[in-house]
Structure 1
Amino acid sequence: MNNKLFFVINSLQRGGAERAISIVSNALYQQNFEVTIVCLNDADIAFAILPEVKVVSLLKKRKQENPLNRLWYAGLLYTRLIRLLMKEKPFYVVSFMTTSNLWTGLACLLTRIPFVVSEHTTPDITLNTFNYFFRKLSYHIYRKSTAVVVPSIGIAERIKQSNSFRKLNNFKLIRNPINEFPEPSDWKVNDKKFILGVGRLSFVKGFDILIEAYNNINNTGIDLVIAGDGAEYESLKIQIEKLNLTGRVKLVGSKDNLQDYYHQAELFVLPSRNEGYPVALTEAMSFGCACVAVNCDFGPSEIIENEFNGLLVEQNNIGKLSKAIDDLLLNHSLRKKISANAQLINEANSVKNIAGYWRGLLLNLP
């Protein structure tokens, strides 16, 4: 039996989809699949990959170039992907993220290899921004795939709001798995109690909103710690200085010991403007960290049942976000209940369960 399975993604740099593909690849290898991760672009690998899982990079990451060079790059990428598929002949190919989905779909249609595509971000910044030709091409590719896997129902619903995709009916819901962290250590990550935010420092992650909300809370004896790197570092630093929060709001960069931060935080806040499926939120919940999340598109409302396993706050309301943080800090019984219920996600989104869903999809199991 051919048990060769390919995953295709742009790279394995830090990100929710990249983490998910790493975890699922490792798990399916342990279930007797011969797994290869194909990266369209060469980049540093941010996640732990088993040595038995092959990682192949098709091209060095390209810089901004003129149109002719971009065409050359596209042709080279497509040719190398087709050659690899024809040589290895996997029984299935699974791609993550829009660009990878399109390249993979075109290559698999030509080589007649079954494939699955997976969308992990809001289509408002991907599929729904395409011109007429690329929307039609995307629809044709997605329709021919075995399934369009999404981690949240909201992504599928938003895709189908576009006239170009309204007839698409092969969506499959598979959540992102919980990362299996090492046991937390006793080393204190902050010298005071703290509220935690985790994620890439980008506009879409909304850490400027979190800093503003933190500035308005009544509890002045607690720090705000934000773990992550990104382009918004300087603007967030300026915001912190303008609000006289230096020393209380700490931008600590990306951390390899996030388990210690989740374990020690008084609460976790997700302030995102949009998500695909918020991995940091599920990670925090897995450690029993009480969570407050802005009810953005997509995922928080599918993960959190308000006042049961977390607090949901309407978007664009900094006042309500500040109040939710204050309420959870003051109401110890509510925080204790939310903390206990949050940990139920360890079962629902366990690696075993999520890998089982992927295995069932690929082997056409019920």
Structure 2
Amino acid sequence: MATRLCFVINSLEGGGAERVISNLANHFSSKDCSVTVICLNKAQVKYQLNEQVKIVNLLERKDNHNSFNRIRYAFLTFYRLLTLLKKEKPDCTICFMTSANIWAGLCCMILGLPYLVSERTAPDSTLNQYNKFLQWFVFHIYRKSKAIVLPAFGMFNGFKRIKQFETLYNFKTIYNPIHQFVKPNPGSVNSKPFMLSVGRLSHEKGFDRLIEAYHLLQLRDTDLIILGEGPERTALEAQIAALNLSGKVKLIGFKSNLQDYYAQATVFVLPSRNEGYPNALVEAMGMGCPCVAMNCEFGPSEIIEDGVNGFLIEQDNVPALSLAIDKLLNNSELKKQFSDKAKLINETNSIERISANWEELILS
């Protein structure tokens, strides 16, 4: 009888965690497992899933601003998820991101089903902001899980900042698998050479700092392209206009042909204030794009060896970020070295190697 697996996440809209869960779902479905991906919220699916993978959307949220609707959505999420998991009876439920971890973990505890939880972003942005009661509640859900999977080893110390979590020993580090893109198209995606950054347009991604660093460079013939959507778009557009960078800094939204941008970019920059394990950085390196990253919590220091396969810049130091970009743009030998060394991540983070780690954990 095929192993039954349920993956639970908020949605499959664009994002790093969503890409990882899509890759894992595809991998396990190709291994003759019965795979269901449960999305707490209905949204457009941005990633390609095998036809054998079943997708279930629990809710379509329309108005979550008043207390009545929040209570209603909470009840419906719990009831529908509990009912679905009771029907599916998965051999293991794998949850990604805090809210999905809480709902699915609670349901699995009630039903006596095995489950894994996985935090994908820095805990200072999630659990460390919760009140004491909610932290206590989450602690008991996480304590009962088969494992708390983290994409970067450094995140372990972040969770230990919560007192109750000091006693947890079921943490497991599994890096994100590298996404296998289709072959890049030959046509140019931009009329000029360009620097690239990719991610959600949100404060923690630090695109305001990248735009400031780009402004310091005063480049005439190199544009800055930022791929992604999010709540900071208006603020970033205002910053671009204020610095007279309109037409040079381009916010071009979500693109399905990411491989073309990675392949053609002169430099990839990760300016984040915090991360879990930055997929975009791994993807860029896998495509051989020379990289510069802020040494934020967490992930970049476990991916980049400074001066060997990229530059790692002191957190919050925008002038140093600007200097590192300039050094790389003007040194073709260094760009080639970084490019060649960066491609080794295709081996260390291969879907086969990373999936083997998940298999061991899920099927044990």
2:122 match: 122
Asked if structure 2 preserves the Cα contact closer than 8 Å seen for 1:14 and 1:47, the reply is yes
Asked if structure 2 preserves the Cα contact closer than 8 Å seen for 1:2 and 1:90, the reply is no
Q: Matches of 1:244 and 1:66 in 2, distance apart? A: 40
Ranges in structure 1 where 5+ consecutive residues have no aligned partner? none
Asked if structure 1 preserves the Cα contact closer than 8 Å seen for 2:63 and 2:69, the reply is no
1:363 match: 363
2:189 counterpart SS class: coil
Q: Residue by residue, what CA displacement relative to the aligned partner does 1:67-94 show, whole Å, maximum 9, x if unpaired?
A: 3332232222212111111111111101
- What one-letter code is carried by the residue in structure 2 that aligns with 1:249? V
Q: Matches of 2:280 and 2:66 in 1, distance apart? A: 37
What does 1:175-214 align with in structure 2 at a 5 Å threshold? 175-214=175-214
Q: Residue by residue, what CA displacement relative to the aligned partner does 1:26-81 show, whole Å, maximum 9, x if unpaired?
A: 01111121100011111111111111100011122242243333223222221211
Asked if structure 2 preserves the Cα contact closer than 8 Å seen for 1:2 and 1:91, the reply is no
Q: Matches of 1:93 and 1:263 in 2, distance apart? A: 36
Instruction: Note the C-alpha offset of 1:234.
Output: 2.1
What does 1:139-158 align with in structure 2 at a 5 Å threshold? 139-158=139-158
Q: Matches of 2:70 and 2:230 in 1, distance apart? A: 26
1:85 match: 85
2:154 counterpart SS class: helix
Instruction: Note the C-alpha offset of 1:155.
Output: 1.6
Instruction: Note the C-alpha offset of 1:220.
Output: 3.0
Q: Matches of 2:109 and 2:313 in 1, distance apart? A: 44
Moved more, 291-300 or 64-73: 64-73
Q: Residue by residue, what CA displacement relative to the aligned partner does 1:191-228 show, whole Å, maximum 9, x if unpaired?
A: 11111111111111111111110111264321111112
Q: Matches of 2:241 and 2:181 in 1, distance apart? A: 34
Moved more, 267-276 or 236-245: 236-245
Q: Matches of 1:256 and 1:40 in 2, distance apart? A: 23
- What one-letter code is carried by the residue in structure 2 that aligns with 1:176? N
Identity of aligned residues (%): 51
**2:104 equivalent to 1:104:** yes
1:323 match: 323
What does 1:343-362 align with in structure 2 at a 5 Å threshold? 343-362=343-362
Q: Matches of 1:197 and 1:16 in 2, distance apart? A: 14
What does 1:281-360 align with in structure 2 at a 5 Å threshold? 281-360=281-360
1:173 match: 173
2:40 match: 40
Instruction: Note the C-alpha offset of 1:232.
Output: 1.8
- What one-letter code is carried by the residue in structure 2 that aligns with 1:284? A
What does 1:16-95 align with in structure 2 at a 5 Å threshold? 16-95=16-95
Q: Residue by residue, what CA displacement relative to the aligned partner does 1:245-264 show, whole Å, maximum 9, x if unpaired?
A: 22221222211111111000
1:256 counterpart SS class: coil
1:56 counterpart SS class: strand
Number of residue equivalences: 364
Instruction: Note the C-alpha offset of 1:184.
Output: 0.4
- What one-letter code is carried by the residue in structure 2 that aligns with 1:339? S
**2:247 equivalent to 1:252:** no
Q: Matches of 2:344 and 2:325 in 1, distance apart? A: 22
Instruction: Note the C-alpha offset of 1:230.
Output: 1.9
1:223 match: 223
Q: Residue by residue, what CA displacement relative to the aligned partner does 1:112-153 show, whole Å, maximum 9, x if unpaired?
A: 110000000111121111112111111111111000001011
1:216 counterpart SS class: helix
Q: Matches of 2:51 and 2:221 in 1, distance apart? A: 46
Moved more, 79-88 or 162-171: 79-88
Q: Matches of 1:205 and 1:32 in 2, distance apart? A: 38
Instruction: Note the C-alpha offset of 1:350.
Output: 1.2
1:37 counterpart SS class: strand
Q: Matches of 1:132 and 1:48 in 2, distance apart? A: 39
Q: Matches of 1:201 and 1:76 in 2, distance apart? A: 30
Q: Matches of 1:301 and 1:146 in 2, distance apart? A: 27
Asked if structure 1 preserves the Cα contact closer than 8 Å seen for 2:119 and 2:150, the reply is yes
Instruction: Note the C-alpha offset of 1:2.
Output: 5.1
Asked if structure 2 preserves the Cα contact closer than 8 Å seen for 1:223 and 1:248, the reply is yes
